[in-house]
Structure 1
Amino acid sequence: MLFTKYVITAAVAAVFAVPAFAAETLSAKDLQTASALRDAAQTGNLSYRILESLTTEIGPRMAGSKNDARAVAWAEAKFRELGFDKVWKEPVTFPVWTRGVESAEIVAPFPQPLLVTALGFSVGTPAEGITGDIVRFATLKDLIEAPDDAVRGKIAFIDHKMQKASDYGSVQAGRSQGASEAARKGAVALVIRSVGTDSHRFPHTGMMRYKEGIPKIPAAAISNPDADLVVRMLERGKPVSLKLRLGAENEGTYTSYNVIGEITGTEKKDEYVLIGGHLDSWDLGTGAIDDGAGVAITMAAGEFIKRQGLRPKRSIRVVLYANEEQGLIGGKAYHDAHVKDLHKIQAAAEADSGQGPVVRFSSYVQPAALPVVKQMFDVLAPLGVQAGDNDAHPGPDMGILKSAGTASFGLGLNNEDYFDLHHTPDDTFDKIVPARINQTAAAYAAFAWMAAQSPVSFGSGTDALKALKTVSK
């Protein structure tokens, strides 16, 4: 989410109000431990070092690639090196897509090369490429509402500019749906302005989907400066012709793995707090921000708790998901593998929006647990964290768990620069600021400890949480 100054409204304050009836709460000792974890972990956690290892020793980790397998081996070894009690992996199978060659150039009226990248699972062009006149649309909606003959035999160009992080949902719709909508009207290819807030001359890749029964046409993104260039050419009133060449291919299926490390609980070891991020990345950068940071933050949080000699009442499980980028496939696989035991998840919270810091804390718990949530917030508040509501989203891969009735938390991160780097060659380790990622890992460590120690269930699988879900809709 975009970093803003959150205002505590009466409705939000009510979430953290302690009910009139007596409620079980975290002990003074557990709160003191959480506060000590929060403070010590800000300088003592290993998140920065873990991320340096992942990006240096493995680098880009596109699902189905050779580096995917290397990343899985790295994760297993790293969990063991960090002292996790249990380490295992669970299979995740998916289609494999490869990028191949990529080029684009304006051939008329002002010949110039452009920087371009194929969107995930786009089909390729013929070897000689595709050439066509560009037809500009400000948004996906404008393309959908255009006359049926508006782009027949031409290249559709969606020029939807992303201004801020909160625009992502609306702007990426053109990326994910635009190819089929353009093909429905007879376009030979789709080009979009990159879904990003930067002005760098790097295009942003990302996932797209074809709709059944509609021809598949090549789809690609051009950088924001190149999109500006195309617009300036179009403003001169002459047809602008683009030649596009993509070597993208589908190459069967592949089995990767969700890699899991656990610190085993003492009193309720079969119940667990679930944190994590996704291990895969796109192939253009080294996946530092998306989502090596989430991997490192959650591994470091678990390791720091273990290093202090602390033994939580419930287990703390860190899952590094396979293939989030191409459709949340690892998250779905985890849900399916554990669907009969989701009630054992005390709390779920994923780190997948950069390095932080944490700026907001939200919950999705049964009402009886809100006094504990208030205590948790009070411990995190000194980090500069503000209060959210009781309808938290736990993160992309864990969203399916919330939908299935799992108690969830959102540790909202300052991601104001996230979409400058997202899915580009600029997503590299030099962008990581130690103080930022360390604060996030400290918040996750304190959160995971308190969630594991809670004297009450947060409500996974209960009627009380189901009722809350109905109300929140």
Structure 2
Amino acid sequence: MKNNYCNHPKAILLLLLMWWVVPGQAQNNKKSTKDQQLIRKMYDLSLTQPKAYEWLDFLCNKIGGRLAGSPQAAAAVEFTRQVMDTLGVDRVFLQDVMVPHWVRGDKEIGKIVNSQKIGSQEVRVCALGNSVGTGGQGIAAEVVEVKNFDELRKLGKGLVQGKIVFFNRPFDNTKIATFRAYGGAVNQRGSGASEAAKLGAIGMVVRSMTGRIDDYPHTGSLRYQLNVPKIPAVAISTKGAELLSSLLKDDRKLKFYFRTTCKMLKEKKSYNVVGELKGTQYPDEIIVVGGHLDSWDTGDGAHDDGAGVVQSMDVLRLIKAAGIKPKRTIRAVMFMNEENGLRGGRKYAELAAQNKEKHIAALESDAGGFSPRAIGINNDFKKFAKVQKWAKLFAPYGVQLRQGGGGADIGPLRTQGVTIMGLSPDGQRYFDYHHTETDTFDKVNPRELQLGAAAMATMVYLLAEYGL
């Protein structure tokens, strides 16, 4: 019997589908293989020819803490500009930013005064960023301890006026994600001084923002509210906070003394530093990768955020060294003044809108230089599903893609329809060092830092290649 199967309409349709699908699938497999090879190449380059760690060494050990408006911040601007000039990128430019110029002053002193149990004893404190100082004589007063603003308001003006308010809400250490613990405690640092001042307090002491009990006070920024008196504010080490709290249980008349000479000076001009690789096919579509160049002055700003700065510069190096010619424009941005003003991030977004630039995505590293665990992707604009398709390319390197968000500096771009992302390293040790004198270069592991740079380069490459 003659076989007429090939003349059957269904058979013809099947053959046509096979002719159309198989080459398309082959093309996708070819793209996937190319992506895997390029990603592997960037990881190999990052781990065998490291540069980020070398740059971080200079930033921390030759320049040091980089408080906005300081000579060290100005030196960091010039250093990162020169580094990116050596990478063979298409252009490096500066964006003018006016920044607050707060200075810490001379030695800070904290003291428990005339305790019934221990007499007088010094405890470690440090001024909060943007705080007014006490002046040379310092201030001393009875202490009222509270855990939150509701407790403070219940005390009322009669029990608070003329006293020092001690905010002593610890981290919730049952939170596996330490940034959630930080988020649950940090409002007492940011707004506590003004809330206390509304009830007539003359000073504020806040427990340091860490889950660890040690003797290193953690600085950080506060925000004074309009039309509320500005009172001096300090952070006390968690060890000091535990001692002060235990003494107050039996001695409600206990006094505390602290002295700070910090003050706000006239604003200064500083800069965001930007390095750019121009896109070959879609140059008007821009991808930002960045970190903040400023840091607190108490340490070297190694994890916060020297790591993010050098990783972002290394993204440009790795893409160039791997021979990739990005289809879309890539910018590495060193933002200025994240810590006590966010002026750099706001200025970048303002200029992007003013120049009618089309940013499609922004990725920030501002969670330390530890081993990368994930990249968080904001899903405001329903782009997560597109990015999630790349998960298999990150899997061999232990990096997950999950819904999340980015850092403070890229946040202002959200209103322009930009998908924001953040590198999420292992955060268990981050708040041991965050905003302290121990945030130094020796706390950063070179391999972990370079793995983070490679993970960022991978995401930036895929965004530049395929867009959103």
1:427 equivalenced with 2:439 (yes/no)? yes
Change (3 A) 1:224 1:365: closer
TM-superposed CA distance for 1:238, in Å, is 4.7
Q: Secondary structure at the match of 1:134?
A: strand
Find 2:455's aligned residue among 418, 439, 443: 443
Cα distance in 2, alignment partners of residues 296 and 128 from structure 1: 42
Asked if 1 retains the 8 angstrom alpha-carbon contact of 2:218 and 2:235, the reply is yes
Give structure 1 regions of 4+ aligned residues with deviation exceeding 3 angstroms.
22-26, 42-45, 340-343, 364-372
TM-score by length of 2: 0.88
Matches within 5 A, 1:169-180: 169-180=183-194
Cα distance in 2, alignment partners of residues 440 and 431 from structure 1: 15
TM-superposed CA distance for 1:68, in Å, is 1.2
1:394 equivalenced with 2:396 (yes/no)? no
Cα distance in 1, alignment partners of residues 355 and 37 from structure 2: 32
Change (3 A) 1:319 1:188: same
Find 1:61's aligned residue among 62, 66, 75: 66
Q: Secondary structure at the match of 2:158?
A: coil
TM-superposed CA distance for 1:208, in Å, is 0.4
Cα distance in 2, alignment partners of residues 294 and 342 from structure 1: 27
Matches within 5 A, 1:238-317: 238-317=252-331
* Structural RMSD (CA): 2.2
Cα distance in 1, alignment partners of residues 370 and 456 from structure 2: 11
Cα distance in 1, alignment partners of residues 333 and 62 from structure 2: 20
TM-superposed CA distance for 1:33, in Å, is 1.8
Matches within 5 A, 1:30-429: 30-101=35-106, 102-109=108-115, 110-162=119-171, 163=173, 164-340=178-354, 344-364=358-378, 372-389=386-403, 392-429=404-441
TM-superposed CA distance for 1:342, in Å, is 6.2
Cα distance in 2, alignment partners of residues 182 and 374 from structure 1: 46
Mind listing any 5+ residue stretches in structure 2 that lack a counterpart?
Answer: 1-23
Report the more deviating stretch, 425-434 or 117-126.
117-126
Deviations 1:431-456 (A, max 9, x none): 001221111111011111111000xx
Mark the structure with the bigger radius of gyration: 2
Asked if 2 retains the 8 angstrom alpha-carbon contact of 1:179 and 1:216, the reply is yes
Asked if 2 retains the 8 angstrom alpha-carbon contact of 1:45 and 1:301, the reply is no
Cα distance in 1, alignment partners of residues 214 and 56 from structure 2: 24
Q: Secondary structure at the match of 2:393?
A: helix
Greater RCO (CA < 8 Å, at least 6 residues apart): 1
TM-score by length of 1: 0.87
Asked if 2 retains the 8 angstrom alpha-carbon contact of 1:96 and 1:253, the reply is yes
TM-superposed CA distance for 1:375, in Å, is 3.7
Cα distance in 1, alignment partners of residues 203 and 460 from structure 2: 47
Cα distance in 2, alignment partners of residues 27 and 68 from structure 1: 43
Deviations 1:128-147 (A, max 9, x none): 11110111112233223332
Cα distance in 2, alignment partners of residues 366 and 321 from structure 1: 23
Find 1:27's aligned residue among 10, 31, 39: 31
Cα distance in 1, alignment partners of residues 283 and 356 from structure 2: 14
TM-superposed CA distance for 1:415, in Å, is 1.3
Percent identity, aligned pairs only, is 37
Cα distance in 1, alignment partners of residues 356 and 430 from structure 2: 31
Change (3 A) 1:225 1:85: same
TM-superposed CA distance for 1:31, in Å, is 4.3
Aligned length: 433
